[in-house]
Amino acid sequence: MIAKKMMPLLENNSAIRAMFEEGKRLAKEYGQENVYDFSLGNPNVPAPEAVNQAILDVIGEEDSVFVHGYMSNAGFEDVRETIAQSLNRRFGTKFNQNNILMTVGAASGMNVILKTILDPGDEVIVFAPYFMEYGSYVRNYDGVLVTVAPDTSSFQPDLKGLERAVTPKTKAVIINTPNNPTGVIYSENTLREIGRILSEKEKELGISIVLISDEPYRELAYDGAQVPYVTPFYHNTAVCYSYSKSLSLPGERIGYLVIPDEMEESSRVMAAAVIANRVLGCVNAPSLIQRVIKRCVDEKVNIEAYDRNRKLLCDSLVSMGFQCVRPEGAFYLFLKCPEADDKHFSEVCKEHRILVVPGTSFACPGYVRISYCVSYEQIQRSLPAFEKVAARYGLSGKEA
């Protein structure tokens, strides 16, 4: 009955489910407060009050037939124009509504752009470590994922690796900054170099390569760090944005795709993307929350809670003798395992009721991902357990 293409997904899903079930079992046995679940990237900071108010205002003030009705498959024109103008104010871009397609979150934006550009056998380059769903999204359209090995000294993309990975079959390169799972923000220099390399390769090989910038964590940057906007660095850039993390609305499924005028055949690509959005079954992004976005376009969640968590977790783990590249954004910390086998290390963590995700799941063995979108108290309670793990590996602490 089930398609062969689905079988690997089904098997992998059982592994994730097993982890979820294990978390529930531990909570039952030891009590929820004695299990330190750092496995999920589900925001724990509430949506801004302005978002809740806007939901009520839309219902109270706007015509309900209009609010709940079908619309252009690209989304409401006024919402798209509001987003375009907000981007222009913040990043000096020159977008208008025709550059914006409302999507069902970044996951959907990624699928829309990949469906729009990929033919079977086309290669899509990703930099390890990367969000594990990319592989599934690319395979949805019979693309081939090509992985560039990580530069574990900084977790910036390996640019020499990129140059080597491009072939005549390359159709896209995916970047994600701030990054899941490392929390690293790609520097302006890195983005400039990626743009230069791709432009040169396009000329040399006579091909078109789309740089897909997956940006659900754009607004989650700490210590005043800037997240450079990508479109000025390369003409064929598509941006997949999401409000899942910036407004803590992951269940509402709302985001947008940007196709700049600078992209080759920009308006035809946009027209194809709108059709992709329709035939993938999304038809249009959810209407009520689009109306809300219009009213809350410059809102963002209070990131201070994440920042407090980041500092406590990072400083504590480093003081215990663990190593990590200090995260600058998102809400993940990518910890170097004190042994080569990250799966075994996560089992050891589990023995101390700490749940983390092995780096192998992000194509980067030897590390684990710790999601710190949890309560501050959970991090405080987990520290003695992390200390026991450190002691098992004979790590020696140093002052943070």
Contact residues: ligand PLP, CB under 6 A: 41, 105-107, 131, 176, 180, 214, 216, 242, 244, 250, 255
Q: For ligand PLP, which is the closer residue by CB, 220 or 337?
A: 220
Strands ordered across the beta sheet of 367-371: 323-324, 332-336, 367-371, 357-358
Work out how close the CB of 242 gets to ligand PLP at its nearest, in angstroms, rounded to a whole number: 3
Which are the contacts of 11, defined by CB distance < 8 A and separation ≥ 6?
none
Q: For ligand PLP, which is the closer residue by CB, 110 or 389?
A: 110
Q: For ligand PLP, which is the closer residue by CB, 186 or 386?
A: 186
Q: For ligand PLP, which is the closer residue by CB, 214 or 328?
A: 214
Task: Please report how many Cα atoms fall inside a 13 Å half-sphere around the Cα of residue 210, on the Cβ side.
Answer: 26
Cβ atoms 163, 194 nearer than 8 A:
no
Work out how close the CB of 71 gets to ligand PLP at its nearest, in angstroms, rounded to a whole number: 20
Q: Compute the radius of gyration of the chain from its Cα atoms.
A: 21
Closest CA to 352 of 17, 18, 26: 26
- Cα separation, 287 vs 76, in Å, equals 8
Which are the contacts of 165, defined by CB distance < 8 A and separation ≥ 6?
125, 146, 148
Cβ atoms 215, 239 nearer than 8 A:
yes
Work out how close the CB of 251 gets to ligand PLP at its nearest, in angstroms, rounded to a whole number: 9
Q: For ligand PLP, which is the closer residue by CB, 26 or 296?
A: 296
Work out how close the CB of 244 gets to ligand PLP at its nearest, in angstroms, rounded to a whole number: 3
Cβ atoms 43, 263 nearer than 8 A:
no
31 vs 24, 27, 103, 276, 346, CA distance in Å?
10, 5, 39, 46, 20
Q: For ligand PLP, which is the closer residue by CB, 104 or 263?
A: 104
Closest CA to 150 of 167, 138, 162: 162
Neighbours of 375 (CB within 10 A): 12
Q: For ligand PLP, which is the closer residue by CB, 82 or 103?
A: 103
Work out how close the CB of 197 gets to ligand PLP at its nearest, in angstroms, rounded to a whole number: 22
Q: For ligand PLP, which is the closer residue by CB, 107 or 273?
A: 107
Work out how close the CB of 350 gets to ligand PLP at its nearest, in angstroms, rounded to a whole number: 22
E strand or H helix that includes residue 324: strand 323-324
Work out how close the CB of 61 gets to ligand PLP at its nearest, in angstroms, rounded to a whole number: 27
Work out how close the CB of 41 gets to ligand PLP at its nearest, in angstroms, rounded to a whole number: 5
Cβ atoms 23, 39 nearer than 8 A:
yes
